[in-house]
Amino acid sequence: MKNEIALEAKSIFKSFYDPVKYDVLKDISFTINRGEFVSITGKSGCGKSTLLYVLSTLDTDYSGELLIDNQSVTNKLENELASVRNEKIGFVFQFHYLLNEFSVLRNVMLPGFKSNRFSEEELEHNAFELLKKLGIEKLAKKMAHKISGGEKQRVAIARAMINNPLILMCDEPTGNLDNKNTEIVFEIFKDLINSFDKSILVVTHDQKFADQTQRTIIMEDGRIIASSGIIY
Amino acid sequence: MKNKHIFEIAWALLMSRSKQTLVAAIGVTFSVAFFISLLGFMEGINKLLDGFFLNRTPHIRLFNDVKPSANQPIDMDSTYSGYHNFLSSIKPAQARKEIYNVESIIKKLNSDNRVYGVASKVTAQAFYNLGNIELNGIINGIDVIQEAKLFNFSDYVFEGNFVDLNNKQNSIILGQGVADKILAKKNDLIQITTINGEQFSLKVIGFFQSGNAEIDKVQSYVSLGTCQKLLGKPSSYINDIQIKLNDMSLAPAIAKEYEQLFKIDAEDMQTTNAQFETGSSARTIISYAVGIVLLIVAGFGIYNILNMMIYEKMDTIAILKATGFSNADVKKIFVTISLSIGLGGALAGALVGLFFSGIIDLIPFNSRAAPRIDTYPVDYGIQYYSIAVSFAVITTYFAGWFPARKASSVDPVEIIRGK
Ligand SMILES: Nc1ncnc2c1ncn2[C@@H]1O[C@H](COP(=O)(O)OP(=O)(O)OP(=O)(O)O)[C@@H](O)[C@H]1O
Ligand SMILES: [Mg+2]
């Protein structure tokens, strides 16, 4: 299992043309295996978020090739990419992006509505189990705008997990959180790796956080300059 | 993606902007309500006015027109048969207004199953005497029972029973205008002078109001027999046969046929009253135009609120897309929002429209032209409701379509990067 590839980037280049041509990603190639916990660090503006958007198929304006679950997603149609995101990728952003009009439980269920893989009851059950795992099952019926920042981020993680994705992609998931909540989120990630065999890719500024991941990719100026691993 | 969940998301977005949504829906409601009540009212008026006219007008009239013969002597002379003969200032020979063979014609007509009914008529010129003054008048001798059956004669007679024309000798129903002028009351004896100079006294048994004051100022009604007596003619004397058909639209064709068959002049309603349809259709077109403009304005209201909603809900759109909702799904959600506002507003509008129509129906309307009607006429035809609702839904669909397209083309990367 460990050596199966979840995501592979092959020589990805990307440039912005506004206001002048600016090469933001240069020849990015790497793989993430199943069950691997990888972090990306680097100075502000070096292109981490931009890379994550490309890897998550949200941004299709790049050259090179991207494979998710051994299938090329480069040049796929918009609605096919939407399905790939829905089924294989879970997202956690620095900002939680919960829908204020929905309860916590329905927010978690939202990506499940699209995939249609489970019945409404099963989906609700799964969502509740996830909330339990993250220790916030008491909030299930609360409206999303009535819970704290740390709780919101945990709800966002539950939402990212609902369709049982192959890989979880996170952009500064702890950027808005205090030390205690950061600790909680990290424990959750570790647990997901161990008990669900997920791959996790986290972009972070937090060196302490990065040090605890299995592998850290360091970027500078649009390139990968180092990739170091620790095993625990 | 189940429709149920599209609805759920659409509904949540709607509720987050419930006030504006309500305002937009009320816009649709009022447009639909006005559309329905306006058209119902217009059509009610149209039908009333058409009724005045149609009820009283024979579909075909048979008569002998006063005109020169089509066969002039020169045409019969074999010497000039190969020539084109120009004749000018031809005058008709003495006119015989009488129709020949009335009985056999009426028999034929009654056996024609396209014919609903036949009423014969005699018209006499006369003067109403008021002291030394003589007022011009036209006395219509009518087949009382048929006239009532075919042309709703009884609707226009008041202060008296029209059947009495048959029952009482030398009785007359005066036009309201005539009665006012010669100061005649019911049961008065009035004097009239025929164009032959003979004087008659007739008993007033009622009054007649046609809705057209000019007509009521000169016309009066008597029975066929009385009129024939005024003219000094036998009881076979008839100068007008009025025909009502089962299907009025056949009138022009049948009129031509009778002209050939009976060697008589036949006039159909459509030819003599070409202007009549124009008024009705102009009113209808104007009502539709006003209604549709209202709906389009309401459509702009929806367009507006959806645009606002999209700017406010950029985050929601971004996360929907990031978590795997396709452009088509997002478009569906916003079109659903728009259609919900449209459909909800339109259905409420249909009810409010019915209510408005009911109110119009209660407003007193006393017209001397329409003795039988005492409130404004309203047509409750289901077609206005279905047209209004479907047009509202179509309008809101388009009003929602453009914002929905905009929503579906939101780039989630831009939104997420912005935070
Ligand atoms: N739409 C854009 N047009 C032009 N340049 C852009 C655009 N988006 C980002 N950039 C530039 O690309 C570079 C990389 O941006 P990116 O957001 O990937 O940085 P980052 O590594 O995530 O930084 P941070 O750690 O501060 O989040 C930056 O220099 C930024 O100014
Ligand atoms: Mg960033």
Residues B162 and B36 in one domain: no
Do the beta carbons of residue B21 and residue B341 sit within 8 Å? yes
Residues B130 and B245 in one domain: yes
Residue A230: its pLDDT value, please? 46
pLDDT (tens, 9 = 90+) of chain A, 232 residues, equals 446 889 999 999 999 998 899 999 999 999 999 889 999 999 999 999 999 999 999 999 999 999 999 999 998 999 999 999 999 999 888 787 888 888 999 999 999 998 888 888 999 999 998 898 888 889 889 898 888 888 888 899 899 989 989 999 998 888 877 888 888 888 888 888 888 788 999 999 888 888 888 899 999 998 988 887 544 3
Residue A1: its pLDDT value, please? 46
Beta strands in B234-373 (DSSP E): 240-245, 265-268
The two three-digit tokens of residue B11, written as one number:
């509904």
The pair phi, psi for residue B14, each rounded to 5°, is -60, -45
Residues B261 and B366 in one domain: no
Q: Is B328 on the interface with A (CB under 8 A)?
A: yes
One of 3.40.50.970, 3.30.160.270, 3.40.50.300, 1.10.3720.10 is the CATH number of A5-229, namely 3.40.50.300
Residues B242 and B115 in one domain: yes
The CA A47 to ligand 1 mean position distance, Å, reads 6
Q: How many domains does chain B have?
A: 2
Residues B9 and B127 in one domain: no
Neighbour count for residue A121 (Cβ, 10 Å): 8
How far apart (Å, rounded) are the C-alpha atoms in residues B378 and B38? 9
Q: Is A82 on the interface with B (CB under 8 A)?
A: yes
HEC-encoded secondary structure of B227-262: HHHHHCCCCCCCCEEEEEECCHHHHHHHHHHHHHHH
The two three-digit tokens of residue A107, written as one number:
């927010």
Residue B95: its pLDDT value, please? 62
Q: Is B416 on the interface with A (CB under 8 A)?
A: yes
The two three-digit tokens of residue A106, written as one number:
């329905």
Q: Which ipTM did the prediction report?
A: 0.89
Of A82, A93, A102, Cβ closest to residue B416:
A93
How far apart (Å, rounded) are the C-alpha atoms in residues A78 and A41? 29
Residue B372: its pLDDT value, please? 67
What are the DSSP calls for B375-413, one per residue? B------HHHHHHHHHHHHHHHHHHHHHHHHHHHT--HH
Residues B113 and B154 in one domain: yes
> In this structure, which amino acid lies at residue B305?
I
Residue B276: its pLDDT value, please? 67
What digits encode the pLDDT tens for the residues B161-203?
888 888 888 899 999 888 888 888 888 889 999 888 888 899 9
Q: For atom 1 of ligand 1, which residue has the closest CA?
A: A16
Do the beta carbons of residue A11 and residue A188 sit within 8 Å? no
Last residue of a domain, one of B212, B239, B270: B270
Q: How far is CA B50 from CA B39, B44, B53, B186, in A?
A: 16, 10, 5, 31
Do the beta carbons of residue B346 and residue B35 sit within 8 Å? no
Pocket test for ligand 1, best of A20, A25, A28, A50 (most atoms within 8 A of CB): A50
Question: What pTM was estimated for this model as a whole?
Answer: 0.75
**Would you give the distance in Å from CA A226 to the centre of its chain?**
21
Residue A25: its pLDDT value, please? 93
Please indicate whether residue A100, judged by its CB atom, sits closer than 6 Å to ligand 1.
no
Residues B255 and B121 in one domain: yes
Task: Indicate which ligand has the atom closest to the C-alpha of A48.
Answer: 1
Last residue of a domain, one of B241, B270, B299: B270
Residue B203: its pLDDT value, please? 92
Residues B351 and B319 in one domain: yes
The CA A50 to ligand 1 mean position distance, Å, reads 6
Residue B415's closest chain A neighbor by CA?
A97
Residues B97 and B207 in one domain: yes
Of B1, B9, B15, Cβ closest to residue A116:
B1
Neighbour count for residue B419 (Cβ, 10 Å): 13
**A128 DSSP β-pair partners:** none
Last residue of a domain, one of B237, B270, B303: B270
Residues B265 and B321 in one domain: no
Our CA-based measurement puts residue B330 at a distance from the nearest CA of chain A, in whole angstroms, of 11
Of B1, B319, B328, Cβ closest to residue A97:
B319
- Our CA angle for A208, A213, A217, nearest 5°, is 90
Q: Which structural domain range is residue B143 located in?
A: 60-83+92-270
- Our CA angle for A39, A40, A42, nearest 5°, is 140
Q: How far is CA B380 from CA A206, B29, B45, B124, B287, in A?
A: 73, 18, 12, 43, 15
> In this structure, which amino acid lies at residue A127?
A
Residues B304 and B190 in one domain: no
How far apart (Å, rounded) are the C-alpha atoms in residues A28 and B191? 117
How far apart (Å, rounded) are the C-alpha atoms in residues B414 and B419? 9
Radius of gyration of chain B (CA): 34
Our CA-based measurement puts residue B408 at a distance from the nearest CA of chain A, in whole angstroms, of 11
Residues B78 and B218 in one domain: yes
Q: Is A153 on the interface with B (CB under 8 A)?
A: no
Domains of chain A, by residue range, sit at 5-229
What are the DSSP calls for B181-224, one per residue? HHT--TT-EEEEEETTS-EEEEEEEEEE--S-HHHHTTEEEEEH
**Low-confidence residues of chain B: pLDDT under 70:** 1, 93-96, 274-277, 368-372, 419
How far apart (Å, rounded) are the C-alpha atoms in residues A77 and A88? 16
